[in-house]
């Protein structure tokens, strides 16, 4: 494969366990996805589905949280990240793959100026001098469109609004020119008008820097805005993966279809809100068969409940459902739920 098509990041069959009261519990189960340069992968799912855990695994931050990789592989630029020495791991984390989080305010140290904090990262990774690192920090602040970056670099986090803090976080994450940015709910804590600007900034940076972005979100609007491809997660697994237009136009997994239908876009106030009955099965209580079976509107008895559903792969699309492609689903209005 040439460089154009080879994924920068490949997560394959990744399983993660967390230490709980009753020993190790599987929270991520055979997750695979990849992302290329200049591409945005959206990982969408509800709370507890494992979307954040998979990115913590990529960032090698699991051990801090009491988790461990139980199987599978994570490859960056063709090389496995598992079993790397500490030094090499630290180099890749930040210089090659960077991450931003939901709460920008909490991610910054209130006691230091933002310029200082960005310069710190630069010096840690490149070993350059103070002066140079500071210049880089100012340059990064201007890249993320913070007005008068020279002066603002000397300001403290509390002097920034939430949206501006997230810009600072993005500046810090990109200061060492990583090739991959993992953004975990980057706009969830922000106001919608600020979210709009952060999403526009991420799109711009993707184009200017040929950045690969993995965006983790529960908001299908954000996915529709930014993602080129989407992985839908449910109870620790990827249940559907598809190019964004295909996914929204023609969801194949009953869960994806239900999730799309639950977005109150055109709901009239006299209509019922669409919701999915029941709740997500938590780690440790996953059934043997399909994990969505208890909530699925088209569950087909033992076929669904007794065996794990196979993954159907069709070109760029994959679906984890035993009934995929059955005409009955379309007839019942489960898939193509949005028309």
Partner 1 sequence: MVAVDGANPAGPPVIAARNLHKTFVTSRNLVGRAVRTVPAVQDVSLAVHAGRTLGIVGESGSGKSTVARLLLRLIKADRGSVSAGGIDVSRLRRRELRAWRRNAQMVHQDPFTSMDPRMRVRDSVAEPLHVHEPGLGRDEVRARVDDLLRSVGVDPGQGERYPSGFSGGQLQRIAIARALAPGPSVLVCDEAVAALDVSIRGQILNLLRDLQRERGIALVFISHDLSLVRAIAHEIVVMYRGRVVETGDAEQVFAHAAHPYTRRLLHAIPVADPVRQRERQATTTEPATGPAPVAGCQYAPRCPLRIDRCGAEPPPLVDRPDGGAVACFVASGTRDGTGGGPARAGAGPVRVEKGPAPC
Interacting residues toward partner 1 by CB under 8 A: 46-47, 147, 162, 191-197, 199-200, 203, 218-225, 227, 244-245, 248, 258-260, 262-265, 267-270, 272-277, 279-280
Q: Which is nearer to partner 1, 119 or 215 (CB)?
A: 215
Rg of the chain's alpha carbons, rounded to an integer? 21
- Number of Cβ atoms within 10 Å of the Cβ of 139: 15
CB of 280: closest distance to partner 1 in angstroms?
7
CB 45, min distance to partner 1, A: 9
Distance CA 323, CA 339 (A): 20
- Least distance between partner 1 and beta carbon 192 (Å): 4
Region label for 125, one of left (φ > 0), alpha (ψ between -120 and 50) or beta (otherwise)? alpha
Min CB(204)–partner 1 separation in Å: 11
How far apart, in Å, do the first and last CA atoms of the chain sit? 38
Q: Which of 6, 50, 71 is nearest to 231 (CA)?
A: 50
Which of 122/280 has CB closer to partner 1?
A: 280
Using alpha carbons only, give the angle 61, 65, 70 rounded to the nearest 5 degrees.
Answer: 75
> Closest separation between CB of residue 269 and partner 1, Å?
6
Q: Where are the alpha helices (DSSP H) in 46-152?
A: 51-58, 62-65, 86-95, 104-107, 114-126, 130-143, 149-152
Q: Nearest-5° angle of CA 293, CA 294, CA 300?
A: 45
* For partner 1, the closer CB: 92 or 244: 244
CB of 187 to partner 1, least distance (A): 9
Cβ closest to partner 1, residue 120 vs residue 219:
219
Q: Report the number of secondary-structure helices (H) and strands (E) in the chain.
A: 14, 12
Nearer to partner 1, 5 or 193 (CB): 193
Tokens (6 digits) for 122:
């630069």
Pick between residue 194 and residue 298 the one whose CB is nearest to partner 1: 194
Q: What is the dihedral of CA 205, 209, 212, 216, to 10 degrees?
A: -20
Query: How near is the Cβ of 128 to partner 1 at its closest, in Å?
Result: 32
**SS3 of residue 130 by DSSP:** helix
Nearer CB in complex with partner 1: 73/204: 204
């Amino acid at each position: 494969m040439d460089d154009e098509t080879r994924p920068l990041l490949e997560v394959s069959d990744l399983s993660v366990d967390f230490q709980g009261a009753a020993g190790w519990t599987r929270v991520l189960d055979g997750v695979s996805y990849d992302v290329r340069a200049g591409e945005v992968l959206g990982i969408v799912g509800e709370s507890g589905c494992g979307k954040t855990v998979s990115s913590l695994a990529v960032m090698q931050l699991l051990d801090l949280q009491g988790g461990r990789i139980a199987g599978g592989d994570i490859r960056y630029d063709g090389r496995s990240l598992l079993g790397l020495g500490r030094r090499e791991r630290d180099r890749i984390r930040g210089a090659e793959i960077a991450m931003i989080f939901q709460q920008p305010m909490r991610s910054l140290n209130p006691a230091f100026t933002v310029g200082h904090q960005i310069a710190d990262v630069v010096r840690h990774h490149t070993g350059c001098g103070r002066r140079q690192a500071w210049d880089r920090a100012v340059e990064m602040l201007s890249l993320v469109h913070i007005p008068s970056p020279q002066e603002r670099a000397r300001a403290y986090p509390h002097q920034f609004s939430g949206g501006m803090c997230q810009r600072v976080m993005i500046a810090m994450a990109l200061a060492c020119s990583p090739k991959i940015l993992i953004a975990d709910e980057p706009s969830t804590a922000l106001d919608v008008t600020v979210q709009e600007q952060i999403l526009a900034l991420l799109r711009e940076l993707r184009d200017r820097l040929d950045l690969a972005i993995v965006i983790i979100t529960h908001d299908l609007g954000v996915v529709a805005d930014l993602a080129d491809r989407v992985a839908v997660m449910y109870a620790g697994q990827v249940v559907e993966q598809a190019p964004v237009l295909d996914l929204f136009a023609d969801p194949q997994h009953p869960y994806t279809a239900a999730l799309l239908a639950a977005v109150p876009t055109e709901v009239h106030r006299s209509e019922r809100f669409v919701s999915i009955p029941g709740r997500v099965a938590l780690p440790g209580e996953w059934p043997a068969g399909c994990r969505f079976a208890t909530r699925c509107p088209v569950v087909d008895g033992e076929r669904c409940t007794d065996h794990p559903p196979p993954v159907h792969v069709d070109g760029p699309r994959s679906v984890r459902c035993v009934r995929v492609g059955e005409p009955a689903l379309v007839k019942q209005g489960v898939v193509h739920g949005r028309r």
